[in-house]
Amino acid sequence: MLNYYGRLSSEVYDLDKPVGHSFGDIEFYADRLKSCKGPILEPATGTGRALIPLLEKGFHIDGFDSSTDMLRICHDNCKRRGFNPDLFEAKMESFSLESKYEAIIVPTGTILLLYKRADSIKALQNFHQHLSDGGRIIVDILLQSDISKGIVTTRTWECPNGDIITLENKIVEVDYINQYTISHGRYEKWRDGALIQTELERFPLRWYGVEEFRSLLENIGFKDIEISSDYKPGRYPTSPEDIITFEAVAAK
């Protein structure tokens, strides 16, 4: 099995999207959560990009991730800033806690990493079960507008110590019936012109239609569903490039 958010991939994520890097989501989420006094959970918290700014704003927020390497970086990022949130390794579709949360947040399309429909439904059902009565879910999805098989992209990052990391990403599978793509990302780390580390990542990504996802939430038991786009509250999406946010209340 290919690595999934392994050591190099996690290092690149922290370089490319450091703590506090916002797509507009951190400000949006902080505003939507301002009335929240109870505990909040961020599944797939990654390196703490959004979690730490929310901690800095005074929210009580826990996080988990399925990647050991992501969590290691998140722990380090929190420690450097004087925070010690409850961070643990788990999967969105199978985590089980005694705690109930006032809100569960999943920014920037992370739910779509569960590319099998059944797994994403299990995750949403799991979120519903872990919300207190009247608790809210806030979750982003992305549409895939350019999904031709064989497309290759390349990027480069410079590490603080001068090492260079390159990434070549290629879409290797497009399943239009089951609505997902699979890409292979080849990471390479270079030092003084010599290759010192390499990693191959299998990266699946699902897509949902806007009304399809609304129906999914309704069928699971969420109510009072509000749709926003590009972090503008209540604005229904008009472009396939929009980031689409769903807010809903857990009906018990």
Residues 6 or more apart whose CB falls under 8 angstroms from that of 112 comprise: 120, 141, 142, 205, 206, 207, 208
At 3 the pLDDT is 57
- The encoded tokens of residue 160 equal 């603080």
At 6 the pLDDT is 87
Residue range 80-124, pLDDT digits in tens:
999 999 999 999 999 999 999 999 999 999 999 999 999 999 999
Q: Which of 197, 137, 135 has the alpha carbon at shortest distance from 166? A: 197
pLDDT tens, per residue, the chain with 252 residues: 445 688 999 999 999 999 999 999 999 999 999 999 999 999 999 999 999 999 999 999 999 999 999 999 999 999 999 999 999 999 999 999 999 999 999 999 999 999 999 999 999 999 999 999 999 999 999 998 878 787 899 999 999 999 999 999 999 999 999 999 999 999 999 999 999 999 999 999 999 999 999 999 999 999 999 999 999 999 999 999 999 999 999 986
For 123, the enclosing helix (H) or strand (E) is helix 117-129
Find out if CATH 3.40.50.970 is the number for domain 7-143+207-250: no
The backbone region for 198, taken as left when phi is positive above 0, alpha when psi lies in -120 to 50, beta otherwise, is: beta
Domain spans in the chain, listed from the N-terminal domain onward: 7-143+207-250, 152-206
Dihedral over Cα of 43, 61, 234, 218: its sign: positive
At 57 the pLDDT is 96
At 1 the pLDDT is 40
Please give the model's pTM, rounded to 2 decimal places: 0.94
Phi, psi of 81 (to 5 degrees): -105, 10
